[in-house]
Chains A and B, each alone.
Chain A
Amino acid sequence: MAQEVMIRVNDLGVSYRMDLNKNTNLKEWVIHALKRQNQYRIFWALRHVSFEVYRGEVLGVIGHNGAGKSTLLKVISGILKPTEGDVQRGGRIVPMLELGSGFDMDLTGRENIYLNGAILGYTKAQLDERRDAIIAYSELGDFINMPLKTYSSGMLSRLAFSIASVIEPEVLIVDEILAVGDESFQKKSRARMMELMSGGTTVLYVSHNIGQIREMCRRVLWLEHGEIQRYGDVTGVCDAYQKGI
């Protein structure tokens, strides 16, 4: 079956120039420059990474801390420019934001829906249309008209999840935050994820929770030291990963 490719990653490489002195101000930089001590080391966070993700697919990304998972997601969403290789995207990519980033604590929940929605790339018309659904879905009730600083962290993450998921994105990036809210909201959010995927949303899903990965994904990408360790069917990769631990 010919499937539509939503993301194509071609021989991707990202290198950092590691500043050994860690200059953070002009004074230090000048001093080190004068002493000729401004040294750098090249560090490859990702190298020779190639894969494809199809429409409606959920790709799990696993690997130990520092394996390059977050770097990969940043390159895919366009935040980082790759040093070599490229990424082709077939649709708009919406990251599910971590707690707080993109939220403004002094504004009300309702105002934050528009602010956050605009940051995620939605238009005013889209937001007007889905506003009530977002409010209902987040289960915030009257709190929606209160400033965000009065919210609990569970309420914040419920709002964040609702904004990112109620409007159907083409590609959704989920970095470790499905454990949102209390148990009933977790169940609800997992159900919503399933619904999105069957509705054609492509999901890139990063987690250390292998159980969840097995449950949600068909294929898995295992990164280690910036390179692909294994890439393929969920059972094979997860078994190998867990054996290695």
Chain B
Amino acid sequence: MKKLTARIASDTGLLILAGLVVLGALSLLFGWIVNDSWSVNQNQYSIETGQTPLRPLNAETPVRQRIPGITGQVTDVTFIADLQGRPAGDVTLAIMQGDSTLAVMEMPLDGVSNGGALTFRPDEPIAADGDLTLGITVRQTAGDASFSLRYGDAAEMERYDDTMRNPGGLTVAGSTVEGQLAVTLRYASPSGAMLLYWIAVGVLAAAWIAVVLLYKRNRRLQRVTFLWVLMEETRRYKYLISQLVLRDFNHKYRQSVLGVLWSFLNPLLTMTVQYLVFSYLFHNAIENFPVYLMTGIVFFNFFNEASTLAMQSVTGNAGLIKKVYMPRYIYPLSKVLFALLNVTITLIPLFVMILITGVPVTRAALLLPLPLLGIACFALGLGMILATMNVFFRDTAFLWNIVVLLWTYMTPLFYPESIIPASWLRFYHLNPMYQFIYFIRCILLQGVTPQPRTYLICLLYAAVPLLLGFLVFRKKQNDFIYYL
């Protein structure tokens, strides 16, 4: 094996070929995973929190709701309906654009559940381009049932910004009602993401060839390049890093009777406690609450553990740092790797939970290493900055505890995102942990890959802090010894 890698590394042609084969295999695998959801944009127009029932509706009170700016293929429309009494008759949904009616759908009233979702799904997706109007008419053949739709009234709509508030959009029997129907409209629009993806793969392949050729031609480049130094150091300190991780691992598990079992039990127990506490509050708003909770707990804990251990890694190894030379970044790095090992173990109870609750596992779950690595890079970058601060100011550790606590509440771990006012969402989404956990829930709970935008954001949130942390750490690492 070693001989083979050495032979490949020494031969320019073989090296290029090997790189292209690896790149090709990985990009095909990734393309296969994301193809279904990236070739179309799955969009959703949604006002989810309608709590108030509109007055009971009948044939004389047709409801019209304007939905602004829909371009694409409408696949389904969902309302929230209340139905009391003995139903007979039907409810009709007409989808209109300007003066033309695009589709009319009928549903018998006895299929409607009280306080539940009322979904209209056309046989063929409806092509829409512009503002849509949804017209709902109820026709009762026997008179003693009361049917109404939920809407968000003026007070509730305060949470949304102007485009979502859509003033004047809702009329009942021709007169305007302030507020909006609780409606979710899903539509697909064509996407160029896959094309961009294959172009990017092509660019990467070309870049690989260029880099290898440049490298092999220029001996001096080989000596000074950052990448070469990094590779050399990793090769040299690989064994040391593995020993340091092994030490932490033994430490954690040797002293306890249950050993590794704790890593299984811990997230399960935390999940159970939080489930008991929060299920009354948020149960209905979140699909598959146990798995939702557990993904939040497991991956936020990973971030917490990795960043905190990395922060303490330099001060905690003061004795060694004063006596033996090794690159200082090894200390935070080994701690983050240890946390990565731990979270990998806790994936087992997570997947058990996923199987028990019957969430379908799709091929998107294969993407899980990506957000995990993303969180690891983010935590390492942050941890290096914190470790540096902690050398000079030992109260960093206490401050960090408070920050993590605040961070826990700023991230939707045990509550649904929908309780956050829409006008705050812009800032709320800046939280890197929100993006990573959103990514993970997409692939584990929904079973789809996130949109390319999320990949870019996560990449940014992994790379920028890592680079920043690395620079801060490198600038200050020679002063550590005076303060330890």
- Establish whether residues B395 and A79, one from each chain, have CB atoms under 8 Å apart when the complex forms: no
A16 to B250, CA, bound (A): 38
Residue of A nearest to B319 (CB): A101
- Establish whether residues B393 and A26, one from each chain, have CB atoms under 8 Å apart when the complex forms: yes
How many chain A residues touch B (Cβ–Cβ < 8 Å)? 33
Residue of B nearest to A122 (CB): B239
CB contact under 8 A between A97 and B395, given known A80-B481, A104-B247? no
Q: How many Cβ-Cβ contacts under 8 Å join chain A to chain B?
A: 77
0/1 string, B279-303, CB within 8 A of A gives 1: 0000000000000000000000000
A25 to B246, CA, bound (A): 32
- Establish whether residues A101 and B323, one from each chain, have CB atoms under 8 Å apart when the complex forms: yes
A78 at the interface (CB under 8 A from B): yes
- Contacting residues, chain B, for A78 (C-beta < 8 A): 325
Question: Which chain A residues in 6-30 approach chain B with CB under 8 Å?
Answer: 16-17, 23-27, 29
CB contact under 8 A between A114 and B319, given known A79-B325, A81-B478, A106-B251? no
Residue of A nearest to B483 (CB): A24
A153 to B227, CA, bound (A): 44
Q: How close is B236's CB to chain A, nearest CB, in angstroms? A: 8
Question: Which chain B residues in 185-244 approach chain A with CB under 8 Å?
Answer: 239-240, 242-244
A241 to B398, CA, bound (A): 50
A237 to B98, CA, bound (A): 103
A109 to B242, CA, bound (A): 18
How many chain B residues touch A (Cβ–Cβ < 8 Å)? 29
Partner of A25, one of B250, B254, B393, B481: B393
A182 to B470, CA, bound (A): 47
- Contacting residues, chain B, for A24 (C-beta < 8 A): 393-394
A85 at the interface (CB under 8 A from B): no
A124 at the interface (CB under 8 A from B): yes
Question: Which chain A residues in 41-79 approach chain B with CB under 8 Å?
Answer: 74, 77-79
Q: Which residues of B contact A (CB under 8 A)?
A: 239-240, 242-244, 246-247, 250-251, 254-255, 319-326, 389, 392-396, 399, 478, 481-482
Between A and B, 18 residue pairs with Cβ closer than 8 Å are A16-B482, A25-B393, A25-B394, A25-B395, A29-B392, A74-B481, A93-B325, A101-B320, A104-B247, A104-B251, A106-B254, A107-B250, A111-B250, A115-B243, A118-B242, A118-B243, A121-B326, A124-B239
